[in-house]
Amino acid sequence: LDPEVGHIGWTEAEARSRVPNLKILRYSMADLDRAITERQPVGFIKLLATHKGKLVGGHIVGPNAGELIQMIQLAMSNGIPVGKLSQAIRVYPTMVEGIERAADGFYKDRFDGVLGKFMKWVARRSLG
- Local confidence band at 96 (pLDDT 50, 70, 90 cut-offs): very high
Instruction: Classify the C-alpha dihedral 49-50-52-55 as positive or negative.
Output: negative
Residue 110: pLDDT over 80: no
Strands of the sheet containing 44-49, edge to edge, are 5-9, 55-61, 44-49, 23-28
Residue 111: pLDDT over 70: no
CB 76 within 8 A of CB 16: no
- Local confidence band at 18 (pLDDT 50, 70, 90 cut-offs): very high
What pLDDT sits at residue 40?
A: 94
Contacts of 6 (CB under 8 A, 6+ apart): 58, 59, 60, 61, 65, 66, 67, 68, 69
- Local confidence band at 115 (pLDDT 50, 70, 90 cut-offs): low
Other CB atoms within 10 Å distance of the CB of residue 92:
8
pTM comes to: 0.85
Mean pLDDT across the stretch 39-44? 96
What pLDDT sits at residue 99?
A: 96
